Amino acid sequence: MHVDATELEIFKNLFHSVAEEMGAALRRSAFSPNIKERRDYSCAVFDGSRRVAAMGDHMPVHLGSMPSSVAAAVEALDPGPGDIAMLNDPYAGGTHLPDITLVMPVMAPGSRQPVFYVANRAHHSDVGGAQPASMGLSEEIYQEGLRIPPVLLARSGRIERDVMAMLLANVRTPREREGDLTAQIAACRLGERRLTELREKYGNRKTFFYLDALQRYSAHLMSEALGRIPDGLYRAEDCLDDDGYSDRPIPLRVAIRIRGRRARVDFAGSAPACRGGVNAVLAITLSAVFYVFRCLLEEDVPACAGLMAPIEVRAPAGSVVNAQPPSAVAAGNVETSQRIVDVLLRALAQALPGRIPAASSGTMNNLSFGGIDPRTRQPFAYYETIAGGMGARPTADGLSGIHTHMTNSLNTPVEAFESAYPVRVRRYSLRSGSGGAGRFRGGDGLIREIEFLTEVRGTILSDRRRFPPYGLAGGRPGQVGKNQLILPGSDSTLPSKAGFTAPEGSILKIETPGGGGWGKPAGRKRSPKKRAPNKRGR
């Protein structure tokens, strides 16, 4: 059998649409705002040897980390027909605790081993732990929430009620969790059904042949792209503000060696894992590398394992980019992942000065809080991320008020937010002038003001409050962000990572960083918009 260009394109689309379809079903029937409104989930299809064959266009931060989940689930449990494995342990295939991943094998008659796996991961609003929404500041993983090693959530098609009960007893909003998990299970089964139909329609031989061919195809695409980067060693450094416990900056260092059609990415010299939760497990670091190199491809290809084949990643064990138990990791997924992208792009900007943008806001501005809703007297937990400015590109201004790089989650509509939680949004606007100046300007960040209508306990996990997003080629950095808790009669500025108790009537005001500028500001052409439309010439 030889690879036919037509069939290759067809199979590529088929596998991708299975992943997309799983995502749509999950989004539409889930309960957490994180899943249904913000779309913080991912669905993927794996081949029998646990290589990613296709992943929906969901969350980049899940890209490189889904395979670890499947590997961990299979090694620990070897799930069979009708089984569904569940896990969230960052040290056994997870990312951070709120991300619960389900893995299901897909069997074929005559084969004792699964021929595919499907997996989906969703960010749940709460998985227990010290802080509502499980995105608090912690010193060890045990404080961050319930840690689930690979366990069977369904066995031979039947849900394991004991396991479910154990989980639900440990979270603040059990009904919501149960609903989300039910939706995740349904999405897995949908994926299983679609893959079986596909295999039956095209036959085993052809299906598996193209499953393989897709890996070679994607590896080839990546090699081509690497081949176009000039050979050399490119180094860069950037840092996180702090870990929430001390104010020492946390440096990240990378050296990218490009040789021919291969790349080696080495994070030697990065800070050791620290006390607060900004530690990233290796899976997250892989995701960030995967993301950056995928952005260099011109083609819109589905995320296949093959894409990573020509890239080698080294991250020293025990460092902030390859954390070991029992380090706390809640912010590694959402903050450190962004900084890894920043440092990778900064290094690549030396190799490809005409293609790489200046730094984007570089933080997801994670806000979580919870309490008792006075309207229902029920506990609630809420989590959201707030967008910032995009870094300027060598050919265009950065966009304003937009999620960049490792996240693409949506905002919760104000009308949905206020209907479901005791809050009032006072302001949600662009933070004018926060983007860095340059020949091309960085995008502006956002300002979000939330008034609490009852007392809440919350946490803000953010960054770029001290060290601004860098500009490139002479462009100025973007403005740093700012967190404020406004109480009647007194304002207090919160650090980049802080827990807080906010009384009824207080307002949390978050200003997010702008993107860096690109090129010297003097080179900026006058914006045509500035000219008044009704005045002719001057």
Kindly identify the residues of this chain, within the stretch 309-328, that bind other proteins according to CB under 8 A: none
Least distance CB 65 / other proteins (angstroms): 16
Least distance CB 224 / other proteins (angstroms): 5
CA distance linking residue 242 with residue 251, whole number of Å: 9
Least distance CB 298 / other proteins (angstroms): 7
Q: Is 287 in the site for other proteins (CB under 8 A)?
A: no
CA distance linking residue 21 with residue 43, whole number of Å: 9
**What tokens does 58 get?**
């969901």
Beta pairing partners, 448 = 428, 510
Q: Which residue's CB is nearer to other proteins, number 291 or number 467?
A: 291
Q: Is 23 in the site for other proteins (CB under 8 A)?
A: no
Q: Is 31 in the site for other proteins (CB under 8 A)?
A: yes
Q: Is 123 in the site for other proteins (CB under 8 A)?
A: no
Q: Which residue's CB is nearer to other proteins, number 76 or number 420?
A: 420
Binder among 82, 179, 325, 521 for other proteins (CB under 8 A): 179
Q: What angle do CA 213, 290, 219 make, to 5 degrees?
A: 25
Beta pairing partners, 155 = 158
How many amino acids of this chain bind other proteins (CB under 8 A)? 86
Q: Which stretch binds other proteins (CB under 8 A): 88-96, 109-117, 221-229, 312-320?
A: 221-229
CA distance linking residue 447 with residue 63, whole number of Å: 30
Binder among 112, 158, 162, 298 for other proteins (CB under 8 A): 298
Q: Which stretch binds other proteins (CB under 8 A): 138-146, 240-248, 272-280, 388-396?
A: 388-396
- Inter-residue contact 61 to 406 (CB < 8 Å): yes
Residues 241-270 that bind other proteins (CB under 8 A): none
Binder among 76, 297, 309, 498 for other proteins (CB under 8 A): 297
Q: Specify burial of residue 310 (Cβ count, 10 A radius: 0-12, 13-18, 19+).
A: buried
Beta pairing partners, 120 = 43, 102
Does residue 316 have a cis bond before it (omega within 30 degrees)?
no
Least distance CB 284 / other proteins (angstroms): 17
Q: Is 300 in the site for other proteins (CB under 8 A)?
A: yes
Q: Which residue's CB is nearer to other proteins, number 276 or number 443?
A: 443
Residues 6+ apart with CB under 8 A from 376: none
Q: Is 12 in the site for other proteins (CB under 8 A)?
A: yes
Q: Is 162 in the site for other proteins (CB under 8 A)?
A: no
CA distance linking residue 357 with residue 376, whole number of Å: 47
Least distance CB 359 / other proteins (angstroms): 12
Report the amino acid identity of residue 230. Answer: P
Binder among 357, 362, 514, 515 for other proteins (CB under 8 A): 357
> Which position has the token pair 């030697």?
268
Residues 6+ apart with CB under 8 A from 451: 423, 424, 425, 426, 505, 506, 507
Report the amino acid identity of residue 125. Answer: S
Q: Is 373 in the site for other proteins (CB under 8 A)?
A: no
E strands present in 70-155: 84-87, 99-106, 116-123, 151-155
Binder among 109, 161, 205, 299 for other proteins (CB under 8 A): 299
Helix (H, G, I), strand (E, B) or coil at 17: helix
Check residue 120 and give left, alpha or beta (phi > 0: left; psi -120 to 50: alpha).
beta
Q: Which residue's CB is nearer to other proteins, number 70 or number 225?
A: 225
Q: Which residue's CB is nearer to other proteins, number 522 or number 532?
A: 532
Residues 409-428 that bind other proteins (CB under 8 A): 409-411, 413-416, 418-420, 424-428
Residues 58-87 that bind other proteins (CB under 8 A): 60
Least distance CB 361 / other proteins (angstroms): 11
CA distance linking residue 298 with residue 344, whole number of Å: 18
Q: What is the CA radius of gyration of the chain?
A: 23
CA dihedral 303, 309, 312, 317 (to 10 degrees): 60
Q: Which residue's CB is nearer to other proteins, number 319 or number 366?
A: 366
Q: Is 160 in the site for other proteins (CB under 8 A)?
A: no
Binder among 25, 102, 103, 236 for other proteins (CB under 8 A): 25
Q: Which stretch binds other proteins (CB under 8 A): 128-136, 204-212, 332-340, 405-413?
A: 405-413
> Which position has the token pair 């007392």?
455
Residues 6+ apart with CB under 8 A from 363: 335, 338, 388, 462, 463, 464, 481, 512, 513
CA distance linking residue 115 with residue 212, whole number of Å: 12
Q: Which stretch binds other proteins (CB under 8 A): 215-223, 458-466, 482-490, 497-505?
A: 215-223
Annotate each residue in 434-473 with x if it binds other proteins (CB under 8 A) or - if it does not, as one string. Answer: ------------x--x------------------------
